[in-house]
Amino acid sequence: MKLQFYKSTSEMNLFGKLKYPLPTILFFTLSASILLYVLLSSSTKLPIYNATDFNAELVDTSVQGSLEKHTIANFHLINQNNEIVTQENYRNKIYVADFFFTRCPTICPVMANNMKKLQDEFLNEDDVMLLSMSVTPALDSVSVLKKYSERHGAIDTKWHITTGDKKHIYNLARKSFFAAVDQGDGGFQDFIHTPNFILIDKKKRIRGVYDGTNTNHLTQLTTDIKTLQGETP
């Protein structure tokens, strides 16, 4: 039994003459190509996360259920060089943010090493930066941060390692970066400890959250940063 590739012999005669005119075939071919491109593009585009996309325990009660389009709030921090760091330092930048403390003996050293890997991967990419915020700012003075940054090979124009007002930093963690799984007021007894790396795009929107201690997550984060670099501004 012969395989039947066409529904009828009228679609193509023995000499290969096409039933449909060439312009029609080209039109449908081009349309199919455009459709395929759109489907592939949409499948690789990263989601944009708002408060309602997160587990409620990660979102401060003041913004839980908010339907507003979320962006990172303005911040005022001090880096390892005793310089003020604000959103202006990250204008039109893709950046990865995390929360750490210099005396942490467990997850923070792993996170710092992975931040260094990201720094090295995007060393020559001016539109990619890093931001680390101390959750024990009273202990992590500028001089302490300077030694910490040198120990981990941080390039100060690429990776700001910061301290600042504790309430401000904790508000950022809970209300902007959605990085803390507990509620608190940023007071003396309040303490945040999270392995999360948060990916922020050039419009100050959250585009992904990753386990900063997980090698597979780091690989995915690297891929996602490159995806953001290819997005139309």
* Predicted confidence (pLDDT) at residue 20 exceeds the cutoff of 50: yes
In eight-state DSSP terms, residue 185 is -
* Predicted confidence (pLDDT) at residue 185 exceeds the cutoff of 70: no
Written as six digits, the tokens of 6 are 């066409």
Q: What is the pLDDT of residues 57-80, one digit of tens each?
A: 667 666 666 668 999 999 999 999
Least confident among 115-124, 126-135, 181-190, 214-223: 181-190
Q: What is the pLDDT of residues 132-171, one digit of tens each?
A: 999 999 999 999 999 999 999 999 999 999 999 999 999 9
* Predicted confidence (pLDDT) at residue 97 exceeds the cutoff of 70: yes
Q: What is the pTM of this model?
A: 0.78
In eight-state DSSP terms, residue 101 is -
pLDDT number for residue 10: 37
* Predicted confidence (pLDDT) at residue 32 exceeds the cutoff of 50: no
Give me the DSSP letters along 187-210: -TT------EEEEE-TTS-EEEEE
Give me the amino acid identity at 154. A
Q: How many CB atoms lie within 10 A of CB 4?
A: 7
